[in-house]
Structure 1
Amino acid sequence: MPESLTGARDVLSPAVLSECVRAATAAPSLHNSQPWRFRLRDGGVDVYADQRRRLDVLDPAGRELLISVGAALFTLRLAIRREGFLPGVALFPDAGDADLVARVTVGRPEPVTPAVEALAASIAHRHTNRRPFARSMVPADVLEHLRDAARREGAVLTVADAPARDAIVRLSRAADRRLRARGGYRAEMSRWTAPGTGRRDGVPSSAVGPWDALETVPIRDFGLLRPLPPEPGGFEPYPTIMVLGTEGDGRAEWVTAGQALQRVLLAATWQNLATTPISQPVEIPAVRRLLTATAGGTWAQMVIRVGYGRPAAATPRRPLSQVLLLPGPDPR
């Protein structure tokens, strides 16, 4: 964030809030669909879901759309906190507008801590990494740091042991096959991965990983549309896999999952870890139920792979002019 935008103030100007929104657009989303919009208001920002960007085949209920918006919401909160203010959040504040996901208010000034600085500095460096990771183990204290990040956002992060990891990989492969059999799947994937001149969304070829010949890592098969060669040396044989869950499974919990997901991903980036959110096993209801601890009321929302790897390429982001609504009534 520009240095000129920081410093001691009593309020945040529209220019600074706009830069906070710009930071929020760096959040992850399904197929980089970026299904969010924002509106500056006196003393804060309204965060909207953009239903035009929902993936009908992969996400018919809009669960992953709200997870994506939740990730942007957390990033917006963090950007405001980085400016030296405490953000407040009200989820779904208007019963008459289902697409108004959150109303973020700028609270009282508060000194910026080193932890906030480090987490905010990770925003620009967090990129989904679909390439092989090193075979190095992730230390237990680092994994505990990630679990704590999820807890701080009201979610639960479980690190899979060896049997659970192998089961998750098998379930992910099964889910991927079932997804490919769905009508419209190829057309939808083509919509979000087809190259285009000046395109500022979707998954570019630079962000697509190689084919995992041994199927040890549950990476989505983008090779359906453009054949990819196996990676020399292959993927790590024993990936570190985590499952992010929430207590409950409604719209508010999906937003909570998105905020927790982004906090975990940024905390991992801070720890020099590469990350891959994996959504296939939670896109098939029958497979998702196998990952859900229904007895405890915890619902699986996302699978995350972490490890040490080379930096991944950034994916494009839409300009503010496309996501920042003008003040006043919603143009819809």
Structure 2
Amino acid sequence: MTPLDEQALAGCVRTATLAPSLHNSQPWRFRIDGGTVEVFADRSRQLEVLDPSGRELLISVGAAVFTLRLAIGMQGRIPEVTIFPDPARPDLVARIRAGQVTTPSAQVNALAAAIGSRHTNRLPFANAVVPADSMEHLCAAAAREGATLTRAGAVSRDTIIGLARTAEARLRGRGGYRAELGRWTRPRSYRQDGIPHTAYGPWDALEHLPLRDFGLVHPQPQRPSARFEAHPTIVVLATDDDTPADWVRAGQALQRVLLTATHHHLATTPISQPVEIPAVRDLLTDPATGRTAQIIIRLGYAAPAAATPRRPLTDILESGQP
């Protein structure tokens, strides 16, 4: 079997960089060797205040791993994935080989088509119910990656929103939080990472939804306010355990869920604050199953959101032997 050439794999890596990441930090590096791509965690891009354990960094890298799998699948190859293949190199998160020739399935085609349209949406959502059929597809998407997705009922939704407000208040009082947020939102016309002002979203006029305020450090004078949905659809993505491998698994599940949602014309907003405060995150653990919450997602219908920039391939990709 002829391996995929380096140019084709480089194109797959470029697609993988469209994955979501905390503050659009893009904390990944790639190396191509023959028909294999190695995916590394870039610890220089870890957010030390929000993410001292590197959990969210590995979720971000896991999302890139899933996107890379899809891109290789679209090249007509079965991706063969090994997570943490070398204990001596803990930042080597995954090794992905372009395996046997295959024909991309309808599901792979649909998810791959959604990659370029998936953007975190911080706009108000319509006061419309997410259909049960769409929710079933989203839950199945998480299950395919070894995670669970649970829709919050009215009581648990309000509890989660309250916990998110508490977490946001604690984060704002944490030393270094504003400085770290400022580094990733600093206005620079040439910037190829971070959150540009076009992606901040409006103010919540009623201060109901605890969305991250990316305009906190660099406020925009023309930024509008808006009324957000009164009863948002909230889902919780969880894993059976809470190890680095589970964090990577959560990232792959997250991206499959987000792309599935995009395919169903749903807007999505990952909400991280409640899982960034350990004491708050513990309250989201399911006592009946022991499953650990990894991320919360807001779902609904909204106008298209702005894309965020991506780093050039030359910054993140190397070839050949290390």
Question: Shared fold (TM-score greater than 0.5)?
Answer: yes
Q: Hey, what's the Cα distance between the residues in 2 that align with 1:35 and 1:142? A: 31
Deviations 1:88-131 (A, max 9, x none): 11111111111000010111011112221111010000000011
Note the residue ranges of structure 2 that are not aligned, 5 or more in a row: none
Q: Report the secondary structure of 1:296's partner residue.
A: coil
Deviations 1:141-180 (A, max 9, x none): 1011100000000000000000011111110010000000
Give yes or no for contact 1:88–1:104 (8 Å, CA) kept in 2. yes
Q: Hey, what's the Cα distance between the residues in 1 that align with 2:321 and 2:3? A: 21
1:5 aligns to what?
none
1:49 aligns to what?
41
Offset of 1:218 from its aligned partner? Answer: 2.6
1:101 aligns to what?
93
Note the residue ranges of structure 1 that are not aligned, 5 or more in a row: 1-8
2:284 aligns to what?
291
Moved more, 291-300 or 245-254: 291-300
Q: Does 1:280 align with 2:311?
A: no
Q: Does 1:260 align with 2:253?
A: yes
Q: Report the secondary structure of 1:97's partner residue.
A: coil
Give yes or no for contact 1:216–1:238 (8 Å, CA) kept in 2. no
Amino acid at match of 2:248: V
CA root-mean-square deviation: 1.2
Amino acid at match of 1:198: Y
1:30 aligns to what?
22
Q: Does 1:112 align with 2:104?
A: yes
Q: Does 1:190 align with 2:150?
A: no
Amino acid at match of 1:225: V
Deviations 1:270-329 (A, max 9, x none): 000110011000000011011111441210000000100001010000010001023222
Moved more, 203-212 or 294-303: 294-303
Q: Report the secondary structure of 1:190's partner residue.
A: helix
Q: Hey, what's the Cα distance between the residues in 2 that align with 1:236 and 1:300? A: 24
Offset of 1:204 from its aligned partner? Answer: 0.3
Moved more, 220-229 or 54-63: 220-229
TM-score by length of 1: 0.94
Q: Report the secondary structure of 2:225's partner residue.
A: coil
Deviations 1:9-29 (A, max 9, x none): 943111110000000000000
Q: Report the secondary structure of 2:44's partner residue.
A: helix
1:199 aligns to what?
191
Q: Report the secondary structure of 2:254's partner residue.
A: helix
2:234 aligns to what?
241
Give the fraction of aligned pairs with identical amino acids, expressed as a percent: 61
Give yes or no for contact 2:165–2:210 (8 Å, CA) kept in 1. yes
1:231 aligns to what?
225
Offset of 1:197 from its aligned partner? Answer: 2.8
2:313 aligns to what?
320
Moved more, 204-213 or 21-30: 204-213
Give yes or no for contact 2:38–2:94 (8 Å, CA) kept in 1. yes
Q: Report the secondary structure of 2:203's partner residue.
A: coil
